[in-house]
């Protein structure tokens, strides 16, 4: 099933706030590199601020 939603949000935040790549973040969150890519691609836009 994958990591809980909170961990997915944290993965995206870590990706945005650090210089770590999805390949480096994946083992920290217990997912594969491709799963980290999918999480970033799916959750990232949901968390992004919308322009006014």
> Quick check: is 52 in a domain?
no
Domain membership flag for residue 32: yes
Say if 11 falls within a structural domain. yes
**Residue 13 lies inside a defined structural domain of this protein:** yes
- pLDDT value for 40: 96
What pLDDT, on a 0 to 100 scale, did the predictor assign at position 1?
74
Query: SS3 letters for 1-52?
Result: CCCCHHHHHHHHHHHHHCCCCHHHHHHHHCCCHHHHHHHHHHHHHHHCCCCC
Give dist(CA 36, CA 50) in Å, integer: 23
For residue 51, tell me if it sits in a domain.
no
In a domain, 38, yes or no: yes
Q: What is the mean pLDDT of each run of 10 residues along the chain (52 residues)?
A: 92 96 97 97 90 74
Structural domain tally of the chain?
1
Q: Is residue 50 part of a domain?
A: no
Domain encompassing residue 35: 5-45
Q: How far is CA 16 from the centre of its chain?
A: 8
Residue 18, number of CB atoms within 10 A of its CB:
10
Model pLDDT, residue 50: 78
How much is the pLDDT for 2? 84
């Amino acid at each position: 099933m994958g990591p809980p939603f909170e961990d997915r949000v944290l993965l995206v935040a870590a990706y945005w706030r650090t210089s770590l790549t999805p390949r480096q973040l994946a083992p920290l969150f217990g997912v594969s590199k491709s799963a980290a890519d999918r999480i970033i691609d799916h959750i990232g836009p949901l968390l992004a601020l919308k322009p006014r």
